[in-house]
Copies of this chain bind each other. A is one copy, B any other.
C-alpha cells in the first residue's frame, strides 16, 4: 500500500496501459446498499446537508474502499450541486428525486450566479481534500475521482425541474430555441470547468463527466449538445491540467460512442450495460481506455448469472486499456456480499 502515485492501477489504465486484472470501482459504490452508509445518511439530515458536510461526505466516500479495497474512491456528491452552486433552488423530496425551480427563459439564466459558485461549493472541495489526505495515508494504491454532470444532462434537470423518462420539455426547447439552450449550455460549460478544476486543486486525480441522458438525442443534437460542449470542457481543463485523465460517460450513446471518444478528447469512455464491450473495445480508438459495464441487476442476482456476465466483459476487455465497473449505478437492493464476490471474481482475473 506504499507505491508511488504513478503506480496506482487506475492511473496506469487511464494512461493507456493494459493493466491485468483491470482496476475496478463501481458507480454509486458509496450508497444505500451499505448499512454503514444508511447510518451516516440518517445522521446527516437531508441529502444536500450530507453533500455539503465534509466530514460525513468524506466518510461515506471512504466506506466502500475500506470494505472492498476498490481501486478508486469517487467523491460522494451529486451532479445537481452545480445548479445548486449557481443559486438555482433545489431540494431532494423523499421518494420523488430532485426538484428544481425550472429555468426556461433569459430571466432564469440571468439569476444564475456564476461568481458565487466557488464559495457555495467550497465544502465539496473540503471533502475532496479530506478524502485525498486519508487515501495518501492509508490507501496509496487508490485513486481519487472527482466528477460533475455534463452540461447537457445537468441542463435537462435545470429546464425540466425534475427527473423525467424522456426530458421532452428540455429536448423540445433545444429544437425550438437553440439560441437560449446554447446560452444555458455555455454557462454550464464554464461553471463545470471551474467546479472540476477546483476539485483537482483540492486533490482529485481523475475527473469523470456523467452524461446520463446523452442517449436520448438525435445524432445532430448529440454532436451539438454533447460532443461539442464536452470537447470545450476537456480543452479548458487540460489548459490548466495538461496531464489530467478524464473519463466521459455518455450513457446510451450506442454506435455514437467511438465518435464521442475521438472528438471530445477524453482519456476513457464509460460503457453503459447495454453496450457490447467486445464491439466497443474494437470500435473505440486503441489509445482510449474503456470502462464498464456489468448490469447492476446481474449484481443483485449474484451467483451464476453475475459470473457469466462479468466473465464475458472481462474477456472483451483483456489486452487493451480498461477499467472494470458497472454499466449504471449500484441499486439499493444489492446484497453487499455480492459486491465482495464480484471483487474476488475480477481480481482473480
Contacts and interface: CB of A to CB of B under 8 A. Distances in A.
Contacts of A327: 218
Given A215-B252, A254-B275, A274-B254, A300 B172 contact: yes
Given A255-B254, A297-B168, A297-B175, A309 B218 contact: yes
A199 B172 CA distance: 36
A140 interface: no
Interface size bucket, A side? 35 or more
Contacts of A168: 297, 331
Nearest to A254: B254
Nearest to A217: B274
A193 interface: no
Given A172-B297, A175-B305, A283-B255, A274 B331 contact: no
A98 B289 CA distance: 42
A285 interface: no
A5 interface: no
A171 interface: yes
Contacts of A116: none
A219 B276 CA distance: 5
B165 A273 contact: no
B274 A222 contact: yes
